[in-house]
Amino acid sequence: MLTSAILFFGYAFMMFGSLKTGALFGALTAVAIAGALFGELVVFPIVLERFDREAPAPAGRVPVPG
């Protein structure tokens, strides 16, 4: 998470440059990193909760942890 924040601010700082292509590259990359961080912290846990389910135990049997 710290790495994403450092990269975000580093590329966001490029937006203040005088070279237009460098500023646009910095903005696009900063937005992509922010989106990736959002996906990792918010979307991925929701997807795991929705689709990563264990199969129910057969009737009459107690599931053994492990």
- Cβ atoms 26, 13 nearer than 8 A: yes
pLDDT of res. 38: 96
Tens digit of pLDDT at every position of the chain (66 positions): 899 999 999 999 999 999 999 999 999 999 999 999 999 999 999 999 888 877 666 666 666 776
pTM: 0.70
Yes or no: say if 14 and 25 are a contact pair by the CB < 8 Å rule.
Answer: yes
Show me where the domains of the chain are located. 2-51
